[in-house]
């Protein structure tokens, strides 16, 4: 067996090329390769909404995200484990990243109580009480069988006071160490630490330095895209980037718009996830090289053109805007499916374009050309 054919037994990350701070590389692990920059479609409850797993893979996705909190509640982590793990259950044999449940500490604040030990939740499904500690979060992610796991952290909503940001950041660091101990050594898998600190540069630096000293296999930047303007998000990335190990992947959690991706990659980010493309598709919106289209608008009702006749995605190329408008206005499930397909295809094409541009040393030109397309907008409205 040649070296190239030898099975991958551990988690590794290699930077293949850089262009300024932007970089392209590969994460290798037993279940496959993740090409970076990478956009991870969100499969909250073990499914990327309105998509078949085979479609998601065919679009170019190397990894999807599952949600610890939601899968803990339904169908239950122990049940998933008995059924062979999340990969088998959702028919996705490729890498899966799971979050820790920490985001729900913020988003479901009315249903939880927080202390040093962890978070006590009241289930939004049936009101049952659940306790999520760093150790239990890691246990759940292990039962799900995910390849990349997250430490439990506390994510605060911005804006917040410096004192509140510091309290949550320090708690997240203590939880990071407990998560690391609970995870132990798992060849072929990875645990990521999560940088917190709100919008306070000094807190972000303290968090990043402390996490780097703990020796995680990857580093996430959390607590952004939670209400702050884009310029603050980008400033925090710039603050954190010099303190994160260059040889480890960097994951910006919960981000974002196509422009967020372009600007974050420019600043050295490798991985992203966001519900935006799937959620927008279910609400009649399409991301395209012309910018965002709202298929609910009446101007599409008689338009026989496809969304984008040059797209590699059949949903963007083979169905008329008039038909998509009809499906959306009628509330037909097929409309949600087709527009979700369009959007995930666009996000995967965008990250593929980034990888190629970085490898060829023309990232700034790629970014400028892409943004010019958005600024020009769509073709002339259909005149009939």
Q: What is the pLDDT of residue 2?
A: 43
Residue 188 among known ligand-binding residues: no
Residues 29-48, mean pLDDT to the nearest whole number: 97
287 pairs with which residues across the strands?
Answer: 292
What mean pLDDT is predicted for residues 321-335? 98
Model pLDDT, residue 201: 98
Average pLDDT, the chain: 94
Q: Is 100 marked within a binding site? A: yes
- Averaged pLDDT for residues 114-128: 86
pLDDT of res. 157: 87
pLDDT for residue 37 is more than 90? yes
pLDDT for residue 253 is more than 50: yes
Q: Is 196 annotated as a binding residue?
A: yes
The pLDDT value given to residue 3? 42
Annotated catalytic residue, options 19, 62, 99, 270: 99
The pLDDT value given to residue 122: 80
The Cβ of residue 88 has, within 10 Å, a number of other Cβ atoms equal to: 12
How far does CA 7 lie from the centroid of its chain? 27
Tell me if 223 is assigned to a ligand binding site: yes
Whether 162 is a known active-site residue: answer: no
Ranges 61-70, 135-144, 204-213, 372-381: which has the least confidence: 372-381
What's the pLDDT at 81?
98
Predicted pLDDT at 1: 40
Q: Tell whether the model's pLDDT for residue 121 goes beyond 90.
A: no
Q: Catalytic site residue 99?
A: yes
Burial class (CB in 10 A: 0-12, 13-18, 19+), 379: exposed
Residue 379 is predicted with a pLDDT of: 61
Q: Give the pLDDT band (50/70/90) at residue 381.
A: low
Calpha distance 239→361 (Å, rounded): 24
Confidence at 112, pLDDT banded by 50, 70, 90 = confident
> Are 278 and 48 within 8 A, CB to CB?
yes
Query: Is 183 a known ligand-binding residue?
Result: no
User: What is the structure's pLDDT at 27?
Assistant: 98
Output the pLDDT for position 108: 67
Confidence of residue 105 (pLDDT cuts 50, 70, 90): low
Mean pLDDT of 171-176: 98
The CATH number of the structural domain formed by 9-274 is: 3.20.20.105
Q: Which of 19, 273, 308, 349 is catalytic?
A: 273
Q: Residue 5: what pLDDT?
A: 56
pLDDT digit string, tens, across residues 267-282: 999 999 999 999 999 9
361 is in an annotated binding site: no
User: Quick one: pLDDT at residue 227?
Assistant: 85
Given this model, what pLDDT does residue 129 score? 87
Whole-number percent of the chain with pLDDT over 90: 87
Buried b / exposed e across 270-282, counting CB within 10 Å, b at 16+?
bbbbbebbbebbb
Q: What is the pLDDT of residue 56?
A: 98
Whether the pLDDT of residue 4 is over 70: the answer is: no
Looking at per-residue pLDDT, the higher value among 158 and 212 belongs to 212
Q: 115 labelled as ligand-binding?
A: no
What are all long-range contacts of 244-248, with beta carbons under 8 Å and residues at least 24 apart?
A: 244/195, 244/208, 244/212, 244/219, 245/212, 245/219, 246/15, 247/13, 247/15, 248/13, 248/216, 248/217, 248/218, 248/219
Whether 103 has a binding-site annotation, put simply, is: yes
Please state the domain extents for the chain. 9-274, 281-376
């Amino acid at each position: 067996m040649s070296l190239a054919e030898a099975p991958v037994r551990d988690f590794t990350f290699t930077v293949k090329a850089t262009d300024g701070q932007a970089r392209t590389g590969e994460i290798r692990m037993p279940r496959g390769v993740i090409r970076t920059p990478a956009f991870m479609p969100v499969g909250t409850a073990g499914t990327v909404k309105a998509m078949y797993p085979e479609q998601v893979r065919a679009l170019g996705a190397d990894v999807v995200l599952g949600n610890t909190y939601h899968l803990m509640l339904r169908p239950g982590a122990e049940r998933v484990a008995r059924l062979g793990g999340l990969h088998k259950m959702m028919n996705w044999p490729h890498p899966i990243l799971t979050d820790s449940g920490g985001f729900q500490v913020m988003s479901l604040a009315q249903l939880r109580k927080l202390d040093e030990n962890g978070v006590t939740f009241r289930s939004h499904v049936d009101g049952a009480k659940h306790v999520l500690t760093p150790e239990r979060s890691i246990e759940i992610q292990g039962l799900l069988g995910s390849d990349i796991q997250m430490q439990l952290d506390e994510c605060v909503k911005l804006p917040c006071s410096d004192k509140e940001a510091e309290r949550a950041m320090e708690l997240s660091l203590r939880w990071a160490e407990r998560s690391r101990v609970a995870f132990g050594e798992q060849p072929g898998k990875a645990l990521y630490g999560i940088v917190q600190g709100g919008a306070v540069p000094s807190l972000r630096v303290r968090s990043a330095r402390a996490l780097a000293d703990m020796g995680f296999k990857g580093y996430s930047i959390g607590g952004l895209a939670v209400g702050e303007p884009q310029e603050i998000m980008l400033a925090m990335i710039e603050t954190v980037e010099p303190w994160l190990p260059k040889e480890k992947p960097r994951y910006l959690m919960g981000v974002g718009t196509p422009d967020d991706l372009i600007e974050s990659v420019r600043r050295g980010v490798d991985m992203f996830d966001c519900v935006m493309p799937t959620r927008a598709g279910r609400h009649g919106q399409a991301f395209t090289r012309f910018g965002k289209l709202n298929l609910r608008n009446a101007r599409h009702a008689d338009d026989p053109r496809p969304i984008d006749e040059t797209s590699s995605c059949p949903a963007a190329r083979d169905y008329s805007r008039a038909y998509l408008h009809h499906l959306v206005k009628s509330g037909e499930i097929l409309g949600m499916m087709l527009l979700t397909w369009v959007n995930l295809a666009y996000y995967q094409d965008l990250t593929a374009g980034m990888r190629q541009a970085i490898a060829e040393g023309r990232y700034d030109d790629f970014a400028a050309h892409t943004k010019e397309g958005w600024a020009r907008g769509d073709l002339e409205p259909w005149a009939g």
